Amino acid sequence: MIQTVESLAALVKGTVRGDCLCAIDDAAAIEAASSSAVTFVLNEMQLRRLKECRAAAIVVDGKIADTVSQASNAALIVVDDAQAAFQAVLPLFRKVRDRPARGISSHAQISGSAKVGTDCYVAPGVVIDEDVVIGSNCDLHAGVVIGAGCRIGDNTILHPNVVLYHDVELGSNVIVHAGAVIGADGFGYRFAGGKFVKIPQLGNVQIHDHVEIGACSTIDRGAIGPTVVGEGTKIDNLVMIAHNCEIGSHNVFASQVGIAGSSSTGDYVRLGGQAGLRDHIHLNTGCSVGAKGGVTKDIPAGETWIGIPAMPESEQKRQFVAIKRLPEIRDQVHSLEMQVAAMTAELEQLRALLDQSGNSVLRRAAG
């Protein structure tokens, strides 16, 4: 569907600088935008990417509109929030699939003691065990398995092949992507009689409202009490959260994060890709861990830690700079060692000469 810069600006309540009647038939990222596409710029760091940009129009925050106009000849749509405005524009140029039609497939297996709310979609191949309670307006896609005693709130979506073990609790407006497993046994054993003996995992998992869990992620049930994920937390694909962890509200975990048992986080904690946390530590509110960070102890509120083992960013960077200089320092030390060796040899020669001179004086005095 072809739009104009003017019509897009009206949609997002923006103002136009430049050709308001320019035709737009696509929306794309800066590097991929064609000469009839609209793109967006969030900050001055992206300005260098405009050098090769062919876009006809750019959605931009008012704070940097003047700077962007100097870097590009494209028409500008000036708004308060460029990212939100571009997200509003994008569906005009992309096919958005509707949710499935409401109804329960005759090929789903549903226990007679389970309760499914109104206006739900239950696909073929879904299995719902005994004493399950599901709220209204939920989507359960093909292959979903819901164990006995689970509780699911309203407006929750479980994508294909999601597995909820028994007694898992999901809040409302939760999204769980394909292949995720919630409520599997925690990795708990004790060593006795020369072998590992399984410790019963008798807790459950509690996922609060507005949480999103990525594909193939796993969240283990607690050994005694629950494993908890707080409201609004977003979990990427391939994330592992072990038993008895307590995750705060509005955390963000990137792909392949691993959190060992009984660890906890405050609110608004951010973990970069492949970050790992040891067991029984706490990350306080608002702290961040960089990609591949290996966390071995508690992190204070608001701090950013990086590296293996993770430590405060400024400290880790100083160490990194020092490590980069090691070859230079090694050469300097080697040079100093050679100088010291030469000076030591000279000193020994001087001592020998002094000894000879002293002996000569003594002989003359004795004679």
Share of the chain above pLDDT 70, in %: 97
pLDDT at 110 > cutoff 70? yes
Helix (H, G, I), strand (E, B) or coil at 116: strand
Burial (CB count <10 Å: 0-12, 13-18, 19+), residue 186: buried
Enter the pTM of the model: 0.86
User: What is the number of structural domains in the chain?
Assistant: 3
Query: Rounded to whole angstroms, what are the CA distances from 21 to 7, 265, 336?
Result: 9, 51, 72
Query: Rounded to whole angstroms, what are the CA distances from 323 to 88, 320, 330, 359?
Result: 47, 5, 11, 53
Question: Which residues span the domain enclosing 12?
Answer: 3-92
Confidence (pLDDT) at 321: 84
Q: Residue 180 belongs to a domain with what CATH number?
A: 2.160.10.10
Question: How confident is the prediction for the chain on average, in pLDDT?
Answer: 94
pLDDT at 365 > cutoff 80? no
Q: What's the pLDDT band for 358 if we cut at 50, 70, 90? A: low
Task: Write phi, then psi, for 198 (nearest 5 degrees).
Answer: -65, 135
Asked whether residue 98 is assigned to any structural domain, the reply reads no
Residues 348 and 240 in one domain: no
Q: What is the pLDDT of residues 308-330, one digit of tens each?
A: 999 998 888 888 788 888 888 88
Residues 198 and 66 in one domain: no
Annotated catalytic residue: which of 141, 177, 208, 243? 243
Residues 189 and 169 in one domain: yes
Residues 25 and 57 in one domain: yes
Q: Residue 46 belongs to a domain with what CATH number?
A: 3.40.1390.10
Q: Is 141 a catalytic residue?
A: no
Q: What is the pLDDT of residues 2-26, one digit of tens each?
A: 999 999 999 999 999 999 999 999 9
